[in-house]
Structure 1
Amino acid sequence: MDLDLGMLVVRLALGPMLVAHGANKVWGGGGLAGTAGWFESLGLRPGRLHARLAAVTELTAGVLVTLGLLTGPACAAFVGLMTVAALTDHRGKGFFVFKGGAEYVVLVAMVAVGLALVGPGSWSLDAALGLPFSGLVWGVVAAVGGVLAALGLLAVFRRPAQDAA
Protein backbone atom coordinates (compact mmCIF):
# COMPACT_ATOMS: atom_id res chain seq x y z
CA MET A 1 0.00 0.00 0.00
CA ASP A 2 2.83 2.42 0.76
CA LEU A 3 4.22 2.06 -2.77
CA ASP A 4 0.75 2.46 -4.29
CA LEU A 5 0.13 5.63 -2.29
CA GLY A 6 3.59 6.94 -3.14
CA MET A 7 3.09 6.38 -6.85
CA LEU A 8 -0.32 8.05 -6.68
CA VAL A 9 1.34 11.08 -5.07
CA VAL A 10 3.99 11.13 -7.82
CA ARG A 11 1.30 10.89 -10.51
CA LEU A 12 -0.75 13.65 -8.86
CA ALA A 13 2.35 15.86 -8.80
CA LEU A 14 3.44 15.24 -12.39
CA GLY A 15 0.19 14.83 -14.30
CA PRO A 16 -1.78 17.92 -13.26
CA MET A 17 1.39 20.05 -13.49
CA LEU A 18 1.76 19.12 -17.16
CA VAL A 19 -1.98 19.59 -17.79
CA ALA A 20 -1.64 23.10 -16.36
CA HIS A 21 1.29 23.83 -18.68
CA GLY A 22 -0.67 22.60 -21.70
CA ALA A 23 -3.76 24.58 -20.68
CA ASN A 24 -1.64 27.71 -20.24
CA LYS A 25 -0.31 27.33 -23.77
CA VAL A 26 -3.89 27.33 -25.08
CA TRP A 27 -5.81 29.60 -22.69
CA GLY A 28 -3.08 31.53 -20.83
CA GLY A 29 -2.09 35.16 -21.35
CA GLY A 30 -1.24 35.19 -25.04
CA GLY A 31 -3.12 32.01 -25.91
CA LEU A 32 -1.93 29.82 -28.75
CA ALA A 33 -0.85 32.87 -30.76
CA GLY A 34 1.44 34.00 -27.94
CA THR A 35 2.79 30.49 -27.50
CA ALA A 36 3.41 30.26 -31.24
CA GLY A 37 5.38 33.51 -31.15
CA TRP A 38 7.43 32.31 -28.19
CA PHE A 39 8.18 29.03 -29.98
CA GLU A 40 9.22 30.96 -33.09
CA SER A 41 11.64 32.95 -30.92
CA LEU A 42 13.11 29.64 -29.74
CA GLY A 43 13.62 28.60 -33.37
CA LEU A 44 10.76 26.09 -33.43
CA ARG A 45 9.25 26.72 -36.83
CA PRO A 46 6.46 26.91 -37.68
CA GLY A 47 5.51 28.20 -34.25
CA ARG A 48 1.78 27.61 -34.81
CA LEU A 49 2.38 23.90 -35.36
CA HIS A 50 4.65 23.55 -32.33
CA ALA A 51 2.34 25.49 -30.03
CA ARG A 52 -0.47 23.08 -30.86
CA LEU A 53 1.74 20.00 -30.76
CA ALA A 54 3.19 20.94 -27.37
CA ALA A 55 -0.20 21.82 -25.89
CA VAL A 56 -1.88 18.61 -27.07
CA THR A 57 1.07 16.49 -25.92
CA GLU A 58 1.16 18.16 -22.51
CA LEU A 59 -2.59 17.88 -21.99
CA THR A 60 -2.71 14.25 -23.14
CA ALA A 61 0.41 13.00 -21.34
CA GLY A 62 -0.60 14.88 -18.19
CA VAL A 63 -4.06 13.30 -18.11
CA LEU A 64 -2.63 9.83 -18.84
CA VAL A 65 -0.06 10.07 -16.04
CA THR A 66 -2.68 11.40 -13.62
CA LEU A 67 -4.92 8.41 -14.39
CA GLY A 68 -2.03 5.93 -14.50
CA LEU A 69 -3.01 4.92 -18.01
CA LEU A 70 -0.48 3.97 -20.71
CA THR A 71 2.16 5.02 -18.19
CA GLY A 72 5.30 4.17 -20.19
CA PRO A 73 4.28 5.96 -23.39
CA ALA A 74 3.00 8.94 -21.39
CA CYS A 75 6.32 9.14 -19.54
CA ALA A 76 8.17 9.04 -22.88
CA ALA A 77 6.13 12.09 -23.89
CA PHE A 78 7.18 13.83 -20.66
CA VAL A 79 10.84 13.11 -21.40
CA GLY A 80 10.49 14.34 -24.98
CA LEU A 81 8.82 17.57 -23.91
CA MET A 82 11.39 18.25 -21.18
CA THR A 83 14.29 17.47 -23.53
CA VAL A 84 13.00 19.98 -26.09
CA ALA A 85 12.59 22.56 -23.30
CA ALA A 86 16.11 21.90 -21.98
CA LEU A 87 17.67 22.26 -25.43
CA THR A 88 15.76 25.38 -26.43
CA ASP A 89 14.42 27.62 -23.67
CA HIS A 90 16.90 26.56 -20.95
CA ARG A 91 19.98 26.03 -23.10
CA GLY A 92 23.08 27.92 -22.08
CA LYS A 93 21.55 29.18 -18.82
CA GLY A 94 23.27 26.74 -16.49
CA PHE A 95 21.60 24.30 -14.14
CA PHE A 96 19.62 26.32 -11.60
CA VAL A 97 16.03 27.20 -12.47
CA PHE A 98 16.26 30.61 -10.77
CA LYS A 99 18.79 31.54 -13.48
CA GLY A 100 16.66 30.06 -16.25
CA GLY A 101 18.55 26.76 -16.19
CA ALA A 102 17.36 23.24 -16.87
CA GLU A 103 17.08 22.09 -13.23
CA TYR A 104 13.27 21.83 -13.34
CA VAL A 105 12.94 20.09 -16.70
CA VAL A 106 15.71 17.61 -15.88
CA LEU A 107 13.98 16.74 -12.60
CA VAL A 108 10.59 16.29 -14.29
CA ALA A 109 12.10 14.06 -16.99
CA MET A 110 13.96 11.93 -14.45
CA VAL A 111 10.88 11.48 -12.26
CA ALA A 112 8.92 10.45 -15.37
CA VAL A 113 11.55 7.80 -16.15
CA GLY A 114 11.33 6.58 -12.56
CA LEU A 115 7.55 6.36 -12.86
CA ALA A 116 7.86 4.35 -16.07
CA LEU A 117 10.29 1.98 -14.32
CA VAL A 118 8.34 1.47 -11.08
CA GLY A 119 4.86 1.76 -12.55
CA PRO A 120 1.80 3.77 -11.56
CA GLY A 121 0.85 1.54 -8.63
CA SER A 122 -2.28 -0.50 -7.99
CA TRP A 123 -4.46 2.60 -7.84
CA SER A 124 -4.21 3.22 -11.58
CA LEU A 125 -6.05 2.38 -14.77
CA ASP A 126 -3.05 0.40 -16.01
CA ALA A 127 -3.43 -1.89 -12.99
CA ALA A 128 -7.23 -2.04 -13.21
CA LEU A 129 -7.09 -2.93 -16.91
CA GLY A 130 -4.06 -5.22 -16.62
CA LEU A 131 -1.99 -3.10 -19.01
CA PRO A 132 1.75 -3.81 -18.97
CA PHE A 133 3.11 -0.30 -19.64
CA SER A 134 5.79 -0.06 -16.97
CA GLY A 135 8.98 -1.83 -15.96
CA LEU A 136 12.54 -1.89 -17.22
CA VAL A 137 11.65 -1.90 -20.92
CA TRP A 138 9.23 1.02 -20.52
CA GLY A 139 11.77 2.92 -18.42
CA VAL A 140 14.27 2.59 -21.26
CA VAL A 141 11.61 3.52 -23.82
CA ALA A 142 10.70 6.59 -21.78
CA ALA A 143 14.32 7.70 -21.38
CA VAL A 144 15.81 6.83 -24.74
CA GLY A 145 12.66 7.12 -26.84
CA GLY A 146 11.75 10.48 -25.31
CA VAL A 147 15.22 11.91 -25.95
CA LEU A 148 15.38 10.52 -29.49
CA ALA A 149 11.93 11.88 -30.33
CA ALA A 150 12.96 15.31 -29.05
CA LEU A 151 16.23 15.26 -31.00
CA GLY A 152 14.37 14.20 -34.13
CA LEU A 153 11.86 17.01 -33.75
CA LEU A 154 14.64 19.55 -33.22
CA ALA A 155 16.66 18.23 -36.17
CA VAL A 156 13.70 18.61 -38.50
CA PHE A 157 12.01 21.77 -37.20
CA ARG A 158 14.46 23.91 -35.21
CA ARG A 159 15.61 26.88 -37.23
CA PRO A 160 17.15 29.45 -34.86
CA ALA A 161 17.34 33.01 -36.07
CA GLN A 162 20.77 33.89 -37.42
CA ASP A 163 22.65 36.44 -35.34
CA ALA A 164 23.60 39.59 -37.21
CA ALA A 165 27.35 39.64 -37.83
Structure 2
Amino acid sequence: MNRPVVRDLTLLIVRIVLGVVFVARGYTHWFVTGIGATAGEFARWGIPQPKLSAYLASGTELIAGALLVIGLLTTLVASALALLIALATYFVHLGNGFFVADGGIEYPLVLFVSLLMIVVFGAGRASLDEVLNRA
Protein backbone atom coordinates (compact mmCIF):
# COMPACT_ATOMS: atom_id res chain seq x y z
CA MET A 1 0.00 0.00 0.00
CA ASN A 2 1.74 3.09 -1.23
CA ARG A 3 -0.79 5.80 -0.46
CA PRO A 4 0.67 9.07 0.78
CA VAL A 5 -2.56 10.11 2.53
CA VAL A 6 -2.66 6.89 4.56
CA ARG A 7 1.06 7.17 5.38
CA ASP A 8 0.72 10.80 6.48
CA LEU A 9 -2.38 10.09 8.58
CA THR A 10 -0.60 7.18 10.25
CA LEU A 11 2.46 9.32 10.97
CA LEU A 12 0.21 12.02 12.42
CA ILE A 13 -1.55 9.55 14.72
CA VAL A 14 1.72 7.97 15.87
CA ARG A 15 3.28 11.41 16.45
CA ILE A 16 0.32 12.64 18.50
CA VAL A 17 0.09 9.49 20.62
CA LEU A 18 3.85 9.40 21.29
CA GLY A 19 3.91 13.13 21.98
CA VAL A 20 1.07 12.91 24.48
CA VAL A 21 2.74 9.96 26.23
CA PHE A 22 6.00 11.88 26.61
CA VAL A 23 4.32 15.14 27.65
CA ALA A 24 2.36 13.24 30.31
CA ARG A 25 5.53 11.56 31.61
CA GLY A 26 7.49 14.83 31.65
CA TYR A 27 4.61 16.69 33.30
CA THR A 28 4.36 13.98 35.96
CA HIS A 29 8.08 14.16 36.69
CA TRP A 30 8.06 17.97 36.97
CA PHE A 31 4.72 18.74 38.61
CA VAL A 32 3.22 15.62 40.20
CA THR A 33 6.04 13.56 41.74
CA GLY A 34 8.59 16.37 41.48
CA ILE A 35 12.17 16.42 40.29
CA GLY A 36 13.45 15.48 43.75
CA ALA A 37 11.45 12.25 43.82
CA THR A 38 12.39 11.52 40.22
CA ALA A 39 16.06 12.03 41.06
CA GLY A 40 15.61 9.66 44.01
CA GLU A 41 14.21 7.00 41.68
CA PHE A 42 17.06 7.58 39.25
CA ALA A 43 19.57 7.14 42.09
CA ARG A 44 17.95 3.84 43.15
CA TRP A 45 18.21 2.62 39.55
CA GLY A 46 21.90 3.51 39.39
CA ILE A 47 21.56 6.26 36.80
CA PRO A 48 24.65 8.50 36.84
CA GLN A 49 24.21 12.08 38.10
CA PRO A 50 20.59 11.37 39.15
CA LYS A 51 19.53 14.97 39.78
CA LEU A 52 20.99 16.28 36.51
CA SER A 53 19.64 13.22 34.67
CA ALA A 54 16.18 13.82 36.17
CA TYR A 55 16.17 17.40 34.94
CA LEU A 56 17.42 16.43 31.48
CA ALA A 57 15.10 13.45 31.04
CA SER A 58 12.00 15.23 32.36
CA GLY A 59 12.65 18.37 30.34
CA THR A 60 13.33 16.37 27.20
CA GLU A 61 10.14 14.35 27.65
CA LEU A 62 8.02 17.45 28.17
CA ILE A 63 9.47 19.68 25.44
CA ALA A 64 10.23 17.03 22.82
CA GLY A 65 6.81 15.44 23.38
CA ALA A 66 5.11 18.78 22.69
CA LEU A 67 7.24 19.28 19.57
CA LEU A 68 6.27 15.80 18.35
CA VAL A 69 2.58 16.63 18.68
CA ILE A 70 2.89 19.72 16.51
CA GLY A 71 5.47 18.18 14.19
CA LEU A 72 8.27 20.69 14.68
CA LEU A 73 11.91 19.53 14.46
CA THR A 74 10.36 16.09 14.37
CA THR A 75 13.29 13.95 13.27
CA LEU A 76 15.62 15.62 15.76
CA VAL A 77 13.27 15.31 18.75
CA ALA A 78 12.30 11.73 17.85
CA SER A 79 16.02 10.88 17.75
CA ALA A 80 16.58 12.51 21.14
CA LEU A 81 13.63 10.65 22.64
CA ALA A 82 14.82 7.37 21.09
CA LEU A 83 18.21 7.91 22.75
CA LEU A 84 16.48 8.67 26.06
CA ILE A 85 14.43 5.48 25.79
CA ALA A 86 17.52 3.44 24.87
CA LEU A 87 19.26 4.74 27.99
CA ALA A 88 16.20 4.03 30.16
CA THR A 89 16.06 0.53 28.73
CA TYR A 90 19.72 -0.06 29.56
CA PHE A 91 19.69 1.42 33.08
CA VAL A 92 16.21 0.44 34.24
CA HIS A 93 14.47 -2.24 32.20
CA LEU A 94 17.07 -4.59 30.72
CA GLY A 95 17.60 -6.69 33.84
CA ASN A 96 13.86 -7.18 34.42
CA GLY A 97 13.04 -9.50 31.54
CA PHE A 98 10.61 -8.80 28.74
CA PHE A 99 7.16 -8.07 30.16
CA VAL A 100 6.06 -4.63 31.33
CA ALA A 101 4.39 -6.10 34.43
CA ASP A 102 7.87 -7.08 35.65
CA GLY A 103 9.42 -3.74 34.66
CA GLY A 104 10.89 -5.32 31.53
CA ILE A 105 11.70 -4.00 28.08
CA GLU A 106 8.29 -4.55 26.45
CA TYR A 107 6.99 -0.96 26.76
CA PRO A 108 10.26 0.89 26.08
CA LEU A 109 10.82 -1.37 23.07
CA VAL A 110 7.47 -0.30 21.59
CA LEU A 111 8.28 3.35 22.25
CA PHE A 112 11.76 3.00 20.70
CA VAL A 113 10.50 1.31 17.53
CA SER A 114 7.69 3.87 17.16
CA LEU A 115 10.19 6.72 17.50
CA LEU A 116 12.48 5.00 15.01
CA MET A 117 9.58 4.97 12.54
CA ILE A 118 9.27 8.75 12.92
CA VAL A 119 13.04 9.17 12.47
CA VAL A 120 13.02 7.10 9.26
CA PHE A 121 9.80 8.39 7.66
CA GLY A 122 9.73 11.93 9.04
CA ALA A 123 6.82 13.98 10.28
CA GLY A 124 4.53 13.61 7.30
CA ARG A 125 2.58 16.34 5.53
CA ALA A 126 0.41 17.14 8.56
CA SER A 127 3.20 18.84 10.50
CA LEU A 128 4.77 22.22 11.05
CA ASP A 129 7.97 20.83 9.53
CA GLU A 130 6.13 20.34 6.24
CA VAL A 131 4.43 23.76 6.41
CA LEU A 132 7.78 25.47 7.01
CA ASN A 133 9.44 23.48 4.22
CA ARG A 134 6.82 24.69 1.73
CA ALA A 135 7.38 28.36 2.57
Q: Normalising by structure 1, report the TM-score.
A: 0.75
- How far did residue 44 of structure 1 move? 2.1
- How far did residue 17 of structure 1 move? 0.4
1:92 maps to 2:117: no
Q: C-alpha distance in 2, partners of 1:27/1:82?
A: 21
Unaligned regions of 5+ residues in structure 1, if any? 132-165
Find the counterpart in structure 2 of residue 10 from structure 1.
14
Find the counterpart in structure 1 of residue 115 from structure 2.
112
1:22 equivalent among 23, 26, 32: 26
Find the counterpart in structure 2 of residue 35 from structure 1.
38
1:67-105 deviations in whole A, cap 9, x for unaligned? 111111111111111111111111211111112101111
What is the SS of the residue equivalent to 1:130?
helix
Percent sequence identity over aligned pairs: 38
1:75 equivalent among 74, 78, 84: 78
- Structure with the higher fraction of residues in helix conformation: 2
Q: C-alpha distance in 1, partners of 2:89/2:22?
A: 15
What is the SS of the residue equivalent to 1:82?
helix
Q: C-alpha distance in 2, partners of 1:28/1:85?
A: 20
Unaligned regions of 5+ residues in structure 2, if any? none
Q: C-alpha distance in 2, partners of 1:55/1:66?
A: 17
Q: C-alpha distance in 1, partners of 2:88/2:73?
A: 23
Q: Normalising by structure 2, report the TM-score.
A: 0.90
